[in-house]
Amino acid sequence: MFALVWALLQLAVFTTASQIPFTESASDYNFTTLELSSLSQEEFTVLAHPQFPSYSVRIRQTASDFCDPSVKSYTGYIDTSAARHLFFYFFESRHDPEHDDVIFWTNGGPGGSSALGLFMELGPCRVVDGNTTKVNPYSWNEKANIFFIDQPIGVGFSYAEFGESVSTTEDAAKDIAAFVSIFFETFSKFKGRGFHLAGESYGGRYLPVYASAIYDYNTVLEAAGVEPINLKSVMIGNGFTDFTAMTPSVYDIMCTPASVEPFVDISTCVSIKTATPRCMKWFKESCIDVFDLISCDAAVSFCDTLTFMPVIAANRNVYDVSKECSGRELEESLCYPITNDIEHYLNRRETRELIGVPLAFENQTFSTINFTVNAAFGATQDENRVQTKFYLENLLDRGVRILIYVGSYDAICNWVGNHRMVDALEWKDSHAFVQQELRPWHISKNHDKTPPAGLVKTAGGLTFLTIEGAGHMVPYDKPVEALELVNRWLKEESFY
């Protein structure tokens, strides 16, 4: 989810544990490799890596009846010597866990728990009513092993013992690079597997930076005689990667038929259109040419209010403008009541015991969004002080494939802005990509029998794809299409 909407809601406070006992340190353990099947269901196994002396990982198997009984699953924490702890879930592939690739999934925010991705969108199960789950036949672990991680520190079941926090994506990337390296080196059967970073919304900021950190650290691993991570691709759904393209494109969603029929009155549309050039000039002067925190913050605040508030005033769901949603519904559930069910499910004692959440969380409430983390990232203008698209350009030039997929009904991280962003990228095959026309893609290769699932264009390692009729959370709205696009991407099949 995108920080702006949450900033418009009532600020909530998430209190982390003052101290959760954890006496083991990485130095207490000799580096070794393990089999996942050897892990205990009753207690955590602690993993360390010589290249990351300040990090260790706790991991345990979950009971066979958790989420999807047909696959093995695991939960645990990435621990740092600075008393920070990131919570994660890991599910083996339904198809061939011994050979399938690995996907790392994160939700956005900043401050959003990846429990949303797991229990609402693409995980092996979905929450039903706050007390139970049902198997999701369209989970992305159909042909891939997959992680879901609560990051950065303070999100979901992640915590810091002494109030430590992270307020920039570049700082958060250090923890992710360490975790990935420890996991692959310790569970040697995954060595060399294709690794894919995936996520949505603010993940458009996170993932290019995380992928770059992993890529760059591979040189350190190689120098130490450690097999590097086989980073194959980055998959970004409805991402907020380039604010200079995204903010003005909300006009297209509200005032033109780019998504649905125009739903904002003409006078408001004219006002937005008139003011947009001023916003772009302000962005350039205060956020890009020279980053001035105060002036950039003022520019973003003014221009976001100008563009996004009319969507809310029109009682439209900013994540799916084909549907209505009042401001009260937005505040209570982000316009999706299932988010409340997820919170209820993860606040049950039985669930917490099942996934190994420390007892110190007993009197603390899980929330799908941590507004304190959100505000910390907002205070640094994390999304605007660095042009994240530069990371994408560098990854593409180094052979890392990039998939940008976007639901056509989303306003907040919409397809128009993402299309403008990818067309403006400067990389070795940018000319060939820009020359491509958007063409229909289908979930069936028999195009005569199925309507188009959306539009696509691709060249070199970059693919841009829309999913017709989906909103911000594509796997939730269009699970069949979402699974098809992921499976084709993993197999490097054509979308045409």
Residues serving a catalytic function are 201, 410, 472
Question: Would you state the structure tokens that stand for residue 158, as one six-digit string?
Answer: 């992640």
Catalogue the E-assigned strands of 84-184.
84-91, 101-106, 125-127, 133-135, 144-150, 159-160
What is the dihedral angle through the alpha carbons of 334, 340, 345, 349, rounded to the nearest 10 degrees? 110
HEC readout, 331-362: HHHCCCCHHHHHHHHHCCHHHHHHHCCCHHHC
State how far the Cα of 345 lies from the Cα of 312, in Å rounded to an integer: 29
HEC readout, 133-146: EEECCCCHHHCEEE
Question: Would you state the structure tokens that stand for residue 329, as one six-digit string?
Answer: 């519904």
The size of the chain, in residues, is 496
Four-residue CA torsion sign, 319, 321, 324, 325: positive
Question: Would you state the structure tokens that stand for residue 464, as one six-digit string?
Answer: 């841009």
Query: Within 13 Å of residue 286, how many CA atoms lie on the same side as its CB?
Result: 18
User: In sequence order, what are the residues at sequence separation of 6 or more whose Cβ sits closer than 8 angstroms to the Cβ of residue 274?
Assistant: none
Provide the phi-psi class of 387: left if phi over 0, else alpha when psi is between -120 and 50, else beta: beta
Enclosing H/E stretch for 403:
strand 401-407
Q: Number of helices (H) and strands (E) in the chain: give both, helices first.
A: 17, 17
Residue whose structure tokens are 């060939």: 432
What is the dihedral angle through the alpha carbons of 104, 105, 109, 112, rounded to the nearest 10 degrees? -110
**Secondary structure percentages of the chain, helix, strand, coil, to 5:** 40, 20, 40
End-to-end Cα separation, the chain, in angstroms: 30
State how far the Cα of 321 lies from the Cα of 310, in Å rounded to an integer: 12
Query: Within 13 Å of residue 2, how many CA atoms lie on the same side as its CB?
Result: 26
User: In sequence order, what are the residues at sequence separation of 6 or more whose Cβ sits closer than 8 angstroms to the Cβ of residue 343?
Assistant: 130, 365, 366, 367, 368
State how far the Cα of 55 lies from the Cα of 120, in Å rounded to an integer: 30
State how far the Cα of 418 lies from the Cα of 424, in Å rounded to an integer: 10
Question: Would you state the structure tokens that stand for residue 12, as one six-digit string?
Answer: 């909530």
Task: Give 464's strand partners.
Answer: 404, 457
